[in-house]
Structure 1
């Protein structure tokens, strides 16, 4: 290995492209530990709708950043950033290879680009902010309060985006400085040599077919039952951050007789296709990526093996 920096691997790609399958296959021949780069897999109890790796895969290969949050808890990109740095260091110390796999492209971006020194989420501060809104008629919404303390950020964040408004306020109350100023302060890039792979179907129709197949499998596995149980046991509610995961809001609306089955199903299909388009847009503007076609996963697998062998052997 000629590089001074320790190498790490990114296995990115669109939803339903076969990333998890490929990562698991690679783990059988290389000493790999997987780090999930997926904003949905962090939540406990939500297994089917997020296409979480099955128990067998989780048992045989170490997966990081899966089932680390309750559905009512927030998880910021800065938390992800600092968690990943610690995990990568631990994996390398074991003499193993960190392979980051998932489709949350914004998370990857924050690993590649220098990140601003933002504080971690603080539930006490969040509760303080929420109570301040409730008890002070002067500020009717989170966005109103944000506009008072950080008008620049308020202009950038939609009033209905509760999570981003709350996060911007949280940063202000924790640091005394506006988010808009802190994000301009950059730190050093992560100290690793990154090898990036992007997996997708080159044919858009085949990508959509894969999405449809994945959704049908979710329903066969009991997605509706999963959501009904979560709602019944109060583990998931409409205002929880986890409800942003694709599929859960339409299913919630269906269970509550707000929409019919067909509308629910179509909404999930459209949302998943929209996610895939966004992921492709991110990846097309990415630098130094090895593109892989999901239509031939064996070829993709062998292509990655050749590159990994050059890096680590």
Structure 2
């Protein structure tokens, strides 16, 4: 038996949350969050985490499951998602993977084999210290030498993935790119449909700018202050996320608030561009151009039409 899975992906601020909830309401779905930051408690505003009201009674999984200092890898996500999919299906509901973390999508659909790669926390910390003292580019150059295939797919500023790729190589002697798909007999029995949401680039960037302003008005600065008061280090992976590192730099007086906000807008736009570039490489995605629809109901109906045929 193949488990059906509807995936709704796209760049940040394109409207995945609302559309995913509306779709879930229409076709009796439960949402598995495919966002690498929404797993953390106390981090609501900067992650654009949907409120209980916005979820409208639709179950959301892998949201608020960890404290900000707790590690959560793509392998952890894959393991949890593979548990959730049959559980949701057993309730006669459709699993819906919704989010913008491209590697999470690939972990599920392409079923990367992470079982052989255990975390080496001591090595990971040493690599992070190298990045702090010598810069991200130092580690990226190392990666290009030992695993050029992975380096092509990882942005030079994506420190988390650079460190992970180097960690795997230095621990196993094999590039992380060699741990690609599971053998056919080990694959999870899955029948996925991937819907990609897109829109005109200038419209998307305007939405991103507006979202940042709404985050600031909604209390992003105070959220970061509260996290620091709780004792969470600015060096944590979670605290290096978009918005959090910008507010930390403002609070440490490295930027003015206005500079921090403008940098956050810029970096979020760049992040969205990278997301689109990654998703566009995936020929399994069925794209829906949101600019071609006047009403959101039309978009949801189109997704539901595809979803009923999984």
TM norm structure 2: 0.82
User: Which residue of 48, 63, 67 maps to 1:66?
Assistant: 63
- More off after superposition, 64-73 vs 264-273: 64-73
8 Å CA contact 2:21, 2:56 repeated in 1: no
Contact kept? 2:3, 2:86, Cα under 8 Å: no
Is the 1:19–1:199 contact (alpha carbons within 8 Å) kept by the matching residues of 2? yes
Superposition map of 1:111-190 within 5 A: 111-119=108-116, 126-127=121-122, 130=125, 152=146, 163-164=160-161, 167=164, 177-180=172-175, 183-184=178-179, 186-187=181-182, 188=184, 189-190=187-188
**Larger deviation, residues 290-299 vs 88-97:** 290-299
Q: Is the contact between residue 75 and residue 121 of structure 1 (CA under 8 Å) also seen in structure 2? A: no
Aligned to 1:84: 81
Distance 1:133 1:275, change over 3 A: closer
Asked if the contact 2:111/2:181 (under 8 Å) is kept, the reply is yes
Match for residue 26 of structure 1 among 20, 23, 27: 23
Deviation at 1:193, TM superposition (A): 1.1
Cα distance change, pair 242–289 in 1 and its aligned pair in 2 (3 A): same
Greater radius of gyration (CA): 1
CA distance in 2, matches of 1:88, 1:69: 20
Please tell me whether the aligned partners of residues 41 and 52 of structure 1 are also in contact (alpha carbons under 8 angstroms): yes
Q: How does 1:33-48 map to 2 (within 5 A)?
A: 33-48=30-45
Secondary structure of the residue aligned to 1:303 is helix
CA deviation vs aligned residue, 1:237-289 (integer Å, no higher than 9, x gap): 22101023111111111111111122101111111111111121122222232
Matched, 1:15 2:12: yes
* 1:178 Cα deviation after fit: 2.7
From 254, 262, 271, the counterpart of 1:275: 271
* Alignment partner of 1:245 is 2:244: no
Partner secondary structure for residue 60 of structure 1: coil
| Equivalent residue number for residue 198 of structure 1 | 196
RMSD: 3.5
Deviations 1:81-134 (A, max 9, x none): 111111112111222100000001121122222412435765xx5258759999
Partners of 1:230 and 1:60 in 2: CA distance: 28
| C-alpha distance in 1 between matches for 2:195 and 2:298 | 13
CA shift digits 1:197-216 (9 cap, x unpaired)? 11121x21111111111111
Q: 1:75 aligns with which of 48, 72, 76?
A: 72
Q: Would you say the 8 A contact 1:116–1:182 is kept in 2?
A: no
User: Aligned pair in 2 of structure 1 residues 278, 162: CA closer, same or farther (>3 Å)?
Assistant: closer
Runs of at least 5 residues in structure 2 that lack an aligned partner in the other structure:
none
1:14-51: per-residue Cα shift (whole Å, max 9, x none)?
11111110111122222211001111111111000100
* Other-structure match for 1:95: 92
Structure 1 position 284 matched with structure 2 position 280: yes
| Cα distance change on mapping 1:40 and 1:121 into 2, 3 Å | farther
- Give runs of aligned pairs for residues 244-263 of structure 1, distance below 5 A: 244-263=240-259
Whole-angstrom distance in 2 between the partners of 1:184 and 1:309: 33
Moved more, 182-191 or 31-40: 182-191
Q: Distance in 2 between matches of 1:20 and 1:38?
A: 11
| Residues 198 and 289, structure 1, Cα contact 8 Å, conserved in 2 | yes
Q: Contact 2:128/2:163 (CA < 8 Å) preserved in 1? A: no
**What is the distance in 2 between the residues matched to 1:271 and 1:287?**
27
The runs of 5 or more residues in structure 1 that have no matched partner are: 135-139
Counterpart pick for 1:293 among 273, 282, 289: 289
SS of 1:86's partner is helix
